[in-house]
Structure 1
Amino acid sequence: MSFQAGNIPPVSAEGALHIVFQREQLVSDMQSPDPLLPRSQLQQAGWDVLREQFLGYWQGTPCYAVDIDSGIELDPLRFHRGNLYQMLGRMDDSLFALAGRALQLLAWERDHQFCGRCGAPMAVDITERAMRCAPCRTVNYPRINPCVITLVHRGEELLLARNVNFPGRLYSTLAGFIEAGESAEQTLHREVLEEVGVTIGQLRYFGSQSWPFPSQLMLGYFAEYEAGEIVCEPGEIAHADWFHYRDLPQIPPATSIAGQLIRHYIGNLTGE
């Protein structure tokens, strides 16, 4: 791996690399092939840093996530500011994962400036990844929301759905958040039934993916169709249907776990 995670920053940040965000959008140098900016460039630009989180080491070099002041005017001939989601599939997977980690940690620090128990200001703990409240000793760690995502299949047909918030004509697999007291498997059965009205049988775990929009951990499964007709959940699913693997609608890119589930299942069918 090119990246080694770490919580405790080095004594000196000289020569460090930075992933920079402004207004939750990634700032990149249009003259560079990747989003990593050297510390000297930040110092030269004179950007006001609102918050900074040490990420670890990228190819042996210390790497930080930085959130700069929203009022800073970036040079449009040099810097580009864009939504991280739109860069999915256009960036090296390792760099995308690193940028996602940066986005999540900056959002976590921003959203925990004050203690939820007593209201006092919280401080970053440099010995571990935590925000601490000195008066009441409350500790907040980065929040990760576990979700399930599943490809429901019926032989050579895949059940795909278009969420009401999806752009264009994109169809994907079904997904949902794990609720308190549920197992991942219980969530799968509940979510599929709620979203499309069908029941599922045998489940098979596929893999997981960090999804920083804003802080999900996606647990991927395959699920065999068992019974029922498709009935879309109002306000959630715009349309859902069975698609033969040779005649698919627009699907997510292979860099997303939804795209990987679809392509892996088709690969098993075709032997490719």
Structure 2
Amino acid sequence: MKTLHDEGYISIYDNYILDSEIKNTEEKYYFIFKERKLLLIDNQVPIIKDLKDIGLKDDDIKNCLHIGEFYSKDCFAVELVEDFDCEKYIESNENHEFLDLYFVFDIDEESYLIAGRAIQIIDWENNHQYCGRCGAKTVTSDVENAKVCPECGFTSFTRICPAIITTIIKKDYDDLDAEGKPTNKVLMAKHSYHEFIRYTLIAGFLEAGESIEEAVKREVKEEVGIEVEDIEYFGSQSWPFPNSLMIGCICKYKSGEIKVDENEILKAKWFKKEEIEKPPSEISIFARLIKNFKENY
């Protein structure tokens, strides 16, 4: 099975170096956030000498973290203070706007990828100010992306939460095509927690001690009551909402009848290719899994 990048999708590392030291380049990339929304100027991430060049003062900055090198320039993740007045700032600066990362993807996918890393580094910085073992104030390591406790030595690295998302494919022998072959169908469900209630694929977080394959089987059984087999890896995707790694899989229906709890899952059913709505955006691995099903099954 090809990975997403093998199929021509952008990689975060095409023009980005993760662990480069600060080079003090004349111009720098600043990924600037206020409440998880990214500042764009003329639909671009600011490339400037200093934050003062775009009207930001020292008192406006809560965090400014070096996160690597982007297009041979130093790259920083910046978090503005809680009481920063975005509306006033935008009114005073033409073509400046703060956008949700969902919208940044459609403007510039590469900037979205770096921004996704940037906001996760900011979250990590804020969530590991104190040692989880003894409560002492932590310090940032000089040699790696880690928070170190000066009292007990406990080290905290950046954290991600792995989750699976899977197409479940079934040959329907009661629905034959023009050639008399069984129709391939994919199971999709309506989740109660989605902002827009629409059919999507089964997904869920891994539990401690699970393999990816075990997580797929458990989530499918819990959410729609069926058994699956022949689980294959499809690809993965960083998902910074807030800090997940989505692991895409493909599996086959084995046995059982659909049964939902009508709480987390409202409905679930089998779809033919032509019955599947086009995903509203290519941002998620969900869209790529659906595209793969339509083109290859």
In the alignment, the residues of structure 2 paired with residue 8 and residue 59 of structure 1 have an alpha-carbon distance, to the nearest angstrom, of: 12
Corresponding residue for residue 19 of structure 1 = 31
Structure-1-length-normalised TM-score? 0.90
Instruction: Please report how far the alpha carbon of residue 67 of structure 1 lies from its aligned counterpart in structure 2 after TM superposition.
Output: 0.6
Pairing 1:86-105 to 2, within 5 Å after superposition: 86-88=103-105, 90-105=106-121
Helix, strand or coil for the counterpart of 2:188?
strand
- Does 1:5 find its partner at 2:33? no
Contact 2:102 2:283 in 1 (8 A): no
Percentage identity across paired residues of the two chains: 31
2:282 aligned to which of 254, 263, 271: 254
Structure-2-length-normalised TM-score? 0.83
Contact 1:25 1:83 in 2 (8 A): yes
Corresponding residue for residue 133 of structure 2 = 117
Contact 1:252 1:258 in 2 (8 A): no
Contact 2:26 2:49 in 1 (8 A): yes
Contact 1:8 1:54 in 2 (8 A): no
2:210 aligned to which of 173, 182, 194: 182
Instruction: Please report how far the alpha carbon of residue 167 of structure 1 lies from its aligned counterpart in structure 2 after TM superposition.
Output: 2.4
In the alignment, the residues of structure 1 paired with residue 150 and residue 23 of structure 2 have an alpha-carbon distance, to the nearest angstrom, of: 24
- Does 1:53 find its partner at 2:79? no
Letter in structure 2 aligned against 1:168: F
2:45 aligned to which of 16, 35, 47: 35
In the alignment, the residues of structure 2 paired with residue 135 and residue 43 of structure 1 have an alpha-carbon distance, to the nearest angstrom, of: 40
1:69-101 CA distance string (max 9 Å, x none): 12122322432223223444x133222111100
Instruction: Please report how far the alpha carbon of residue 266 of structure 1 lies from its aligned counterpart in structure 2 after TM superposition.
Output: 0.7
Higher gyration radius (CA): 2
Structure 1's 250 and 4: CA in aligned 2 closer, same or farther, altered over 3 A?
closer
Corresponding residue for residue 68 of structure 1 = 80
RMSD (CA atoms): 1.9
1:199 aligned to which of 227, 251, 257: 227
In the alignment, the residues of structure 2 paired with residue 173 and residue 210 of structure 1 have an alpha-carbon distance, to the nearest angstrom, of: 17
Which segments of 5 or more consecutive residues in structure 2 lack a partner in the other structure? 1-12, 172-183
Which segments of 5 or more consecutive residues in structure 1 lack a partner in the other structure? none
1:238-264 CA distance string (max 9 Å, x none): 222111110113535333111100101
Corresponding residue for residue 85 of structure 1 = 102
Helix, strand or coil for the counterpart of 1:230?
coil
Structure 1's 203 and 148: CA in aligned 2 closer, same or farther, altered over 3 A?
same
In the alignment, the residues of structure 2 paired with residue 190 and residue 94 of structure 1 have an alpha-carbon distance, to the nearest angstrom, of: 34
Instruction: Please report how far the alpha carbon of residue 127 of structure 1 lies from its aligned counterpart in structure 2 after TM superposition.
Output: 2.0
Helix, strand or coil for the counterpart of 2:222?
helix
Contact 1:159 1:242 in 2 (8 A): yes
2:198 aligned to which of 162, 170, 173: 170
Moved more, 252-261 or 59-68: 252-261
Report how many aligned residue pairs link the two structures: 266
In the alignment, the residues of structure 1 paired with residue 40 and residue 78 of structure 2 have an alpha-carbon distance, to the nearest angstrom, of: 12
